[in-house]
Structure 1
Amino acid sequence: MLDNNNSTSKSNLPLYISIGLLLFFGACYFLIPSVKEFLDEAWSVLTSDDEERIQKWVANFGWFGPFVLILAMVAQLFLLVVPSLLLMVVSVLAYGPIWGSVIIVTSVFAASTVGYFIGSYFGDTIVTRIIGKKAEEKVASFLDNYGFWAVIVTRFNPFLSNDAISFVGGVLSMGYWRFMGATIVGILPLTGFIAVFGKNIEDLKMGLLWGSIVSVLVFGIYVWWDKRKNKNEKSNS
């Protein structure tokens, strides 16, 4: 059940920090030409849906490139036009299967943490504005019913709403380490798959499609079994 009073029961410090950062970066954007140029270029590249272009752009940063990818993954929580799967693939293309995988897991951990604490501190009202009321209600119901396993399935399946479940996990006050544990368990198989097939985009797309279908079917069978078990328990009581 959503806790509409969640944001008011916590310290306002995160809100003040967030407003301060927004004002700071907004001022930098409008007052410092080099910052404006960089952010405009970053927006153009990351929303291009072009793996090769993004890979070349990230490579120009050298050792700082992984931090750019991590920041981009956090930013895509709010810039829904930048798919997280694309950033994962670019990580492998730019840094290889091992270091690319490390960057993916770190990025997902960072983005999930930010989304979780936004939901936890700012509550239902802010999350609704970010992801929409219908999406929040669906994810909240899913998370309420299946908790840990809902997070795992969502992380493993790249076509489900990864960002929404981070926000809603915070709103519902799901234990942070339990939430992050499920996130890591779910993202590791997907990361391994991308690491193996990331350099062949067609094989990757087909594999992700079939993997997603299988994961949804398996979870669907579990949901059906769970509902049938609960119905039988009610009828026998």
Structure 2
Amino acid sequence: MKLSPVVARLLLLGAIVIALIGGYLILARSGAIAFLENGPALQAWLQQLGIIGPLAIIGLMTLAIVMSPIPSAPIALAAGAAYGHTEGTVYVLIGAELGAIIAFIIARLAGLAVVQHWLGPGIMQRLHGSQNMLMLIVFVSRLLPFISFDMVSYAAGVTPLRFWRFVVATFAGIIPASFLLAHFGAEMASGESERIGITLLLLGGVSLLVILLERFSRRRR
């Protein structure tokens, strides 16, 4: 019996969810998640890897985005501590962007048809015409540290947002947070408390500025 496209996508979505949950449970029981949350141990491990260390950061960041419960902030901090804020930022950016792209593609392939079926062609057509707004939402969400980076990537995949717009909005939006996290990790490794305080103030200032701009734009609308 031939399955309908919607049922086939639902089965694919269920298989992906089961695989992600199973993978996370395996990592959790093996102690890998606890290791990733141990900043000093992760930093020491990365430094022992030598030239492979940057690839490990990129791979871990990608995995942390795709497999949502895995924390990405400790990886970014360890990247800054191990390689400095400049190189660390580059590695974190690459890994976060790759992870966001993979999550977007998974949601697009497995979930878009299901959402279209539930919402109907009328609503999806109106959303398709709001490319600039969808792109802005993704960009702003990347600037806000309390909004799940992973969930935004998956949610964007089930909207009509064009792929290139998602890539650009994500990359532009994660630059500040990636730099600040890597910079904070580098300052923690240096042990200079004054510079650590300045970094924390910058991180809080960026978040506050984004919130104020968002509220101002809502009032204008």
TM-score of the superposed pair, with normalisation by structure 1: 0.65
Deviation at 1:108, TM superposition (A): 1.2
Q: Does 1:51 align with 2:78?
A: no
The farther-off stretch of 86-95 and 144-153 is: 144-153
Q: Deviations over 1:1-31 (max 9, x none)?
A: xxxxxx937x98xx59x87xx6xx98xx8xx
Which of 135, 156, 164 is the equivalent residue of 1:169? 156
Q: Find the residue that maps to 2:186 and give its secondary structure.
A: coil
Structure 1: 4+ residue segments shifted above 6 A: 124-127
CA contact (8 A) 2:79 2:182 kept: no
Name 1:115's counterpart in structure 2: 103
State the partner residue of 1:199: 186
Shift of 1:78: 5.3
| Equivalent residue for 1:76, pick from 46, 50, 64 | 64
Q: Which residue number in structure 2 is paired with residue 221 of structure 1?
A: 216
Match of 1:211 among 206, 214, 218: 206
CA-based RMSD:
3.7
Within-5 A mapping of 1:25-174: 40-46=30-36, 48=37, 50-77=38-65, 79-123=67-111, 146-174=133-161
Provide, for residues 85-131 of structure 1, a one-character-per-residue CA deviation record: whole Å limited to 9, x for no partner: 2222211111122221110110111111111011101106999xxxx
The 1:43–1:70 alpha-carbon spacing in structure 2 relative to 1, beyond 3 Å, is same
Is contact 2:65–2:96 with CA below 8 Å preserved after alignment? Answer: no
**Does structure 2 retain, via aligned residues, the 8 Å contact 1:117–1:170?**
yes
SS class of match (1:189)? helix
Q: Distance in 1 between matches of 2:206 and 2:35?
A: 29
Secondary structure, counterpart of 1:83 in structure 2: coil
Contact 2:61 2:96 in 1 (8 A): yes
Given the two structures, how large is their TM-score scaled by the length of structure 2? 0.70
> Structure 2 CA distance, aligned partners of 1:220 and 1:145?
18
Which residue matches 1:180? 167
Kept in 2, the 8 Å contact 1:159–1:212? The answer is no
Q: Partner amino acid for 1:57?
A: W
Work out the CA distance in 1 between the residues paired with 2:67 and 2:80. 22
1:8–1:75 Cα change, 3 Å: farther
**Partners of 1:41 and 1:194 in 2: CA distance:** 24
Q: 1:96 to 1:221 in 2, by over 3 A?
A: same
2:193 aligns with none
Equivalent position of 1:135 in the other structure: none
The answer on whether the counterparts of 1:85 and 1:158 sit within 8 Å (CA) in structure 2 is no
CA contact (8 A) 1:93 1:198 kept: yes
Contact 1:45 1:57 (8 Å CA) reproduced:
no
Amino acid at match of 1:185: A
| Distance (whole Å) between structure 2 residues aligned to residue 8 and residue 70 of structure 1 | 35
